Amino acid sequence: MDNANDLQSRLNAQPIATPADPFEEPERLSEIRHAIAALCADFPDSYWRGLDEQRTYPEAFVRRLTETQWLSALIPEEYGGLGLGITEAAVILQEINHQGGNAGPAHAHKCT
């Protein structure tokens, strides 16, 4: 599992370049997607179904997002966050949903 800090270091070292193909996703966003997909692999459909059945909050999932610092994507680095932009934050939420998770709790944390 990629730690968000490790990925942040690589992302900050990469220039923000526009791919030759205007529909191709920049590599930095693909790296975020892969890291989030790896994290989500630890929370299979059965995890989410169980939460739905019990009507409970996804504490373990949110804890993991917090521990790996993905919830701090929009917080500036000087305050302990990742200092990423809104596009990167949107990719995080989109990938959580794409992997079958529920990004609602993560979305609420990103907006506060």
pLDDT digit string, tens, across residues 18-76: 667 778 888 899 999 999 999 999 999 999 999 999 999 999 999 999 999 999 999 99
- Domain positions in the chain are 4-11+26-111
Looking at residue 20, what is its pLDDT?
A: 73
Looking at residue 25, what is its pLDDT?
A: 83
Looking at residue 11, what is its pLDDT?
A: 66
pTM equals 0.78
Please provide the CATH number assigned to the domain covering 4-11+26-111. Answer: 1.10.540.10
Q: How far is CA 15 from the centre of its chain?
A: 20
Distance separating alpha carbons of residues 17 and 33, to the nearest angstrom: 17
Contact at 8 Å (CB) between 67 and 4?
A: no
Which contacts qualify for 72-77: CB closer than 8 Å, 24 or more apart?
A: 72/4, 73/4, 73/110, 74/110
Residue predicted with more confidence, 15 or 83: 83
